[in-house]
A and B are shown apart, each in its own frame.
Chain A
């Protein structure tokens, strides 16, 4: 039998990806704000010997093909003609959701209506009759709770047993379609006719709602409204926002991340490194191999692994916030500030993703309304502190500002945010002049985040860093070890005469006015373009210059001492600022090319961020010196 093809469509934030993930086992990003999914995604599942393909589409309020997402949806539905188009409806918000349903029916696309979020509708006191809905429009209707797998599993049974051909638009719908077509065929301006049609649709929806929904039990004030009076109202909303963000950092650094990082630092760089070193000595492997393993791989990969729990903690917090619905409030609160910078409040959401990783954040910019918003968002995202920069900040803060480590890291985050806002303004004024932008954002209800989603997402994203440590960072560590232990005449005992020292020294001249013109810093800056964590693994190798034979060397402390020797607190701070702002990693650069479609923007992103980083770190160092640090 041929594969049964299913497409999930519907308004934004109705639970399409939740259902898709539950059915296919794929982990699409889920968040409680509109516009999480920006591209279609395929998944496959077998049920009762039937192969089923399911596609998760971006959420849209209509299908007029006005935005890239709407284009994706309508193209897919009309060109691919899936066997079953599932219209995922947020039952607690059924009126507006039925608008898209009617549009689909007008296109003569039969739909299986999935009244999702039934739990929320019930909680709000809405009684919806799916039977009456089905009778009124002529299409099959099912009820689900996307978060319960029992409920979504039954969808598979329904998919395999439903034959869409056996359903037909009801007379009511046919009459509506006739009326729509009469207006379209009639005289008048296109826009005016379309507006008439929109009103016609809502007239019909009002009629349908009157029959199928019993609103008698609806409370006048929702829980969401009560929370919003506190979180999105009046001037205290701003301090609360800052406090919440600060809370995330406190949890990540002070409470959880840093203690674990300290422990791992000891466990890997002293204990494990010592054991391996001894073992290798006992077996009697070649000195160079011992050095490669201990001073190259363990020092390099280990210094990154130390901070992976920190990254996990941060991702957990971000995913959790994502699930609550607070992100949309951040957009709401921040819109005037973002607008002054030439962006819109909606731009906050992809930017916040940028604290995790720049790559999805750059892609997430697709959810923005205008081309200009998208371009600016893509170009300023790299300034933010992504998960990979986090280890750099954490390590330097711990070494140079042990009393204020989490505050210094917080300041780095703020510097990143402020630079993103300033550059957005600069780009608006210079490159993407006065193009109209608007802000229209649905504020979803607050929800208790689905813990399964939060944990899976934390694991998936965090895993990426583990994989990177085992692949790119591993390879880079070997390379760095080689470059730092060899020169043209073979192995060298003096690192200062190695390939890397020459290379790093050449680059380091650029940083004379920033106070970190050492060859080690220069080398770290180069490797950081490949992956930001490499800044740390490089430092780990270069400053981990213990005598291999001496097993009493406390490698961890030695790295700290060595770092302390080549940076002052001020130049370390300047180096942090530079690392925070300079060129995105190659993966992010590639994504910029892909999303903008032009090489030009890749080179631009590389050059202008590096220039900004150079200037700002220079100012930091020079002003810092003037005021006596």
Chain B
């Protein structure tokens, strides 16, 4: 299966604090299944809260709880602006 890489796609690590986005899909990664189990499935709305004082990791609010994850893991989460 060929994966078309879209250079303009929005990944979670690039979303500004305060904005809400919707998950489009998750790329393969060792964390994928755990992230999905914790409620980050396609269609879920995420609000980006902040990045940690040293820039990494970031904190998000999802399904009424707060979760922190590293930027390079957030990069594997493809999102779309919430409309």
Contacts and interface: CB of A to CB of B under 8 A. Distances in A.
A321 to B, nearest CB: 18
A66 B49 CA distance: 29
B68 A332 contact: yes
Given A199-B42, A337-B54, A191 B70 contact: no
Interface in A98-123: 99
Given A61-B37, A62-B37, A96-B39, A333 B64 contact: no
B73 A440 contact: yes
A64 B37 contact: yes
B59 interface: yes
Chain A interface, >50% SS class: helix
Nearest to B32: A195
B34 interface: yes
B41 A202 contact: yes
A440 B38 CA distance: 10
A410 interface: no
A442 interface: yes
Nearest to B50: A233
A336 interface: yes
Between A92, A94, A225, the greatest number of chain B beta carbons within 10 A of the residue's beta carbon is seen for: A225
Q: What range describes how many residues of A lie at the interface?
A: 35 or more
A438 B68 contact: no
Contact of A333 (B32, B36, B53): B53
A438 B53 contact: no
B41 A199 contact: yes
A191 B69 CA distance: 22
Contacts of A554: none
Contacts of B31: 438, 440
Nearest to B55: A336
Contacts of A443: 59, 65-68
Interface string A55-82: 0000001101010000000000000000
Contacts of B69: 439-441
Contact of B33 (A191, A236, A336, A438): A191
A99 B37 contact: yes
Interface residues of B, number: 32
Contacts, number: 114
Nearest to B39: A96
Nearest to A194: B33
B50 A232 contact: yes
A516 B4 CA distance: 68
A454 B69 CA distance: 30
B33 A232 contact: no
A333 B6 CA distance: 32
Contacts of A238: 53-54
Given A199-B42, A202-B41, A438-B70, A92 B64 contact: yes
Contacts of B33: 64, 66, 191, 194-195, 198
A337 B53 CA distance: 11
A136 interface: no
B63 interface: yes
Given A228-B59, A438-B30, A443-B59, A332 B52 contact: yes
Interface in B16-74: 30-39, 41-42, 44, 49-50, 52-57, 59, 61, 63-70, 73
Interface string A84-95: 000000001111
A92 B64 CA distance: 8
Interface in A306-341: 332-333, 335-337
A93 B65 contact: yes
Contacts of A224: 66
A597 interface: no
A194 B52 CA distance: 32
Contacts of B36: 195, 198-199
A64 B38 CA distance: 13
A225 B66 CA distance: 9
Contacts of A336: 52, 54-57
A301 to B, nearest CB: 46
Between B41, B44, B56, the greatest number of chain A beta carbons within 10 A of the residue's beta carbon is seen for: B41
26 contacts: A64-B37, A93-B63, A93-B65, A99-B37, A195-B32, A198-B41, A202-B39, A228-B50, A232-B53, A237-B53, A238-B54, A333-B52, A335-B70, A336-B52, A438-B30, A439-B68, A439-B69, A439-B73, A440-B38, A440-B67, A440-B73, A441-B67, A442-B67, A443-B66, A443-B67, A444-B66
Given A95-B64, A442-B67, 9 more contacts: A66-B33, A93-B63, A199-B42, A225-B49, A233-B53, A238-B53, A333-B54, A336-B54, A443-B68
